[in-house]
């Protein structure tokens, strides 16, 4: 089957103009593919560019060279050169991203935060909220919190809100940045099931899993990542 994500020759560096133009190389010549139904884990110490790679695939970072081709509704779209409008379209329909931290919007209750990607995908309000509630209860967010804004939630609760947001739409491509970092054993198991279900329906998953048990349970392949900044 054609890969859902094909990365080739990908290089990323940061030029810090505020600090006298210091150049921080992060990635150089990265190549990998992720097939539908497969979970690929980026593996390496911190500072080796794992999170940066996920952000590049999501269009959150710009690369200096290379291509990031994502299958989107039968088309091949190169994130490295796509217009902002196209990237937003991919984020609505094709790519889900669970970051380590929840960016809270003032006043918006948890259930709506979770339902939002569903609405953007085109679900009815009812369906999006129904799916949101199902995920919130699977991830053990007490019902009394559903209608409160998550700004005051604990780190673990915020991470679960973020996870629910990422799984509310059946995205064909999922980017997971340490999705279980702040979770207890029960919730870790739930996340492992969610990832398993996503793979079973054909999602291509690229993730960072520090927890060895979780990684062994979900990852089909490991991509070793080594630091550039130390080497340079």
List of residues contacting another protein (CB under 8 A): 14-18, 55, 59-62, 84-85, 87-89, 105-108
Closer of 55 and 215 to another protein (Cβ):
55
| Closest CB to another protein among residues 79, 183 | 79
Nearest to 84 by CA among 67, 59, 105, 108: 59
The gap from C-alpha 221 to its chain's centroid, in whole angstroms, comes to 17
- Nearest approach in angstroms of CB 147 to another protein is 15
Q: If you ran DSSP here, which 8-state letter would residue 22 be given?
A: E
- Strand-strand pairing, 39-43 and 221-224: parallel
Q: What's the closest the beta carbon of residue 63 comes to another protein, in angstroms? A: 10
The span from the CA of 97 to the CA of 115, in Å, is 15
Hunting for tokens 């999006």 — which residue is that? Answer: 128
Output DSSP code: residue 133.
H
Give me the least distance between CB of 112 and another protein, in Å please. 10
Nearer Cβ to another protein, position 17 or 144?
A: 17
Question: What's the order of all strands across the beta sheet hosting 5-16?
Answer: 22-34, 5-16, 65-72, 75-78
The CB-of-156 to another protein minimum distance in angstroms stands at 22
Distance CA(168)–CA(66), nearest Å, equals 31
In whole angstroms, what is the distance from residue 37 CA to residue 116 CA?
25
* Closer Cβ to another protein, 14 or 43, answer by number: 14
Least Cβ distance, residue 56 to another protein (angstroms): 9
Q: Which is nearer to another protein, 98 or 191 (CB)?
A: 98
């Amino acid at each position: 089957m054609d890969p859902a994500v094909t990365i080739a020759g990908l290089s990323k560096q940061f030029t810090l103009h505020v600090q006298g133009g210091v150049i921080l190389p992060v990635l150089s010549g990265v190549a990998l593919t992720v097939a539908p139904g497969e979970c690929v884990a980026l593996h390496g110490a911190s500072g080796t560019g794992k999170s940066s790679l996920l952000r590049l695939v999501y269009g959150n970072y710009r690369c200096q060279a290379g291509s990031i081709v994502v299958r989107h509704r039968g088309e091949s779209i190169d994130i490295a050169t796509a217009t902002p409008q196209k990237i937003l379209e991919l984020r609505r329909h094709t790519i889900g991203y669970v970051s380590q931290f929840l960016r809270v919007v003032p006043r918006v209750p948890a259930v709506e935060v979770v339902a939002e990607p569903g609405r953007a995908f085109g679900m009815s309000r009812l369906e999006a909220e129904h799916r949101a509630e199902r995920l919130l209860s699977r991830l053990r967010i007490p019902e009394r919190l559903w209608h409160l804004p998550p700004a005051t939630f604990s780190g673990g609760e915020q991470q679960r809100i973020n996870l629910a947001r990422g799984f509310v739409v059946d995205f064909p491509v999922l980017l997971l940045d340490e999705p279980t970092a702040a979770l207890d054993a029960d919730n870790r198991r739930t996340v492992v099931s969610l990832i398993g279900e996503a793979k079973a329906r054909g999602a291509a998953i690229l993730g960072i899993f520090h927890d060895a048990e979780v990684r062994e349970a979900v990852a089909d392949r490991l991509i070793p990542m080594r630091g550039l900044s130390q080497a340079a």
